[in-house]
Structure 1
Amino acid sequence: MKKLAIARLGRSVGLKGEMRFFDLSDFPEQFQEGASFESDRGKLTIERINPQRGTIKFVGINTPEDAKKLTNAYLYSDEQKSKEQLNLNEGEYFWFEIIGLDIYENSEYLGKVQDIQRMPQSDYLLVQTAPDLIQKNLPKSFLLPFSDPFIVDVDLQKRRIVVAGARDILEAS
């Protein structure tokens, strides 16, 4: 089962084992007191979390020295657990569902989603350009906004995204 990094732990804060907390997910509601997560350093259970201050404390981590051992560790979930615990609205997708999908515009294969870049205004698909288009001196990759009017249809079963205007973006990149 593929692990998904959903949070990163920062430096120790205060004297009671609290740490800086960086949520890497779109679902802050999953980080609640009593919730347990796998990490680079073993299983961790949340004792307290303060989203406004960006801090977290785990059960059994009671000193700055204990917390420092977790600095820069990641918390993980997996695809199955995420799908079971988190409800998406119509037209919403998990990133792991989108990465790897093929991009088509007017039946032309433009490339494959390599990654997703989060920007302030929108999320962008990092598309690895199709080899035949690279041979025509087009860029090896390009960014495509994951929003209207660019995304026409997402079909998880066919593993494809139908887009509009992406060829123009590719040519202008």
Structure 2
Amino acid sequence: MSDFPSIFVPKASFHTKSFGTLCIHSFNLAKNLVQFEGYVSRESAAKLVHCELYSTLEESKAMCELKEGEFLWEEIIGADVCDRFENGELKLGKIKDIERIGTLDYLLVATDSALVSKGLNKQFFIPNVEHFVLSLSPNGVFTHNALGILEQS
């Protein structure tokens, strides 16, 4: 449902593409059930099944309690990815998206055009693990051995 279930509290508002803004009436964490204001019957609530909820980046930051060094995915998307070597670094591309598979996050990188022109793939995944990701922030993602992943893609 969310990495931050604590955001589902009465009176919290979320945006939708089809139903406008929805305001939470109640939330049952054990059952992962949300009741929205104005949707009191089972039939009216059925319209909202599989409805995706959105918030702005500012709203998300206000609702989520992030620890030092933690960022929302939206803050990381668009950041440059540079692979570090003993004698320098190479820009691999930009974070295009982040996907969670199981319990692991994968950074989808749109490969830099200079590398694509050399015949490398237009995009590739880097697992967000210490072995590959040295640091991650909205200012940039620094990796080690990620060029090897790109070359083998």
State whether TM-score is above 0.5.
yes
3-state SS of 1:67 partner: helix
Selected match of 1:168 from 132, 148, 152: 148
Structure 1 or 2: larger strand share? Answer: 1
Q: How do residues 1-173 of structure 1 correspond to structure 2 at under 5 angstroms? A: 23=1, 25-40=2-17, 41-106=19-84, 107-156=89-138, 159-173=139-153
Structure 1: which amino acid aligns with 2:5?
A: P
Q: Secondary structure, in 3 states, of the residue corresponding to 1:127?
A: strand
Mark the runs of 5 or more structure 1 residues left unpaired by the alignment: 1-22
Considering Cα pairs closer than 8 Å and 6+ residues apart, tell me whether 1 or 2 has the greater RCO.
Answer: 1
Please give the root-mean-square deviation of Cα atoms over the aligned residues, in Å.
1.7
Question: What are the superposed Cα offsets for residues 3-52 of structure 1, whole Å, 9 maximum, x if unpaired?
Answer: xxxxxxxxxxxxxxxxxxxx2x3211001123222223122222222222
State the TM-score, normalized to the length of structure 1.
0.77
Q: Distance in 2 between matches of 1:76 and 1:62?
A: 21
- In the alignment of these two chains, the number of paired residues is 148
Q: Which 4+ runs in 1 deviate beyond 3 A?
A: none
Unmatched segments (≥5 aa) in structure 2: none
Letter matched to residue 170 of structure 1: L
1:6 alignment counterpart:
none
Report SS of the residue matched to 2:54.
Answer: strand
Q: Secondary structure at the match of 2:55?
A: strand
Structure 2: distance between partners of 1:34 and 1:170: 46
Tell me which amino acid in the other structure corresponds to 1:122: L
Calculate the TM-score normalised by the size of structure 2. 0.86
CA distances 1:47-79 after superposition (whole Å, capped 9, x unpaired)? 222222222211221223322333432222111
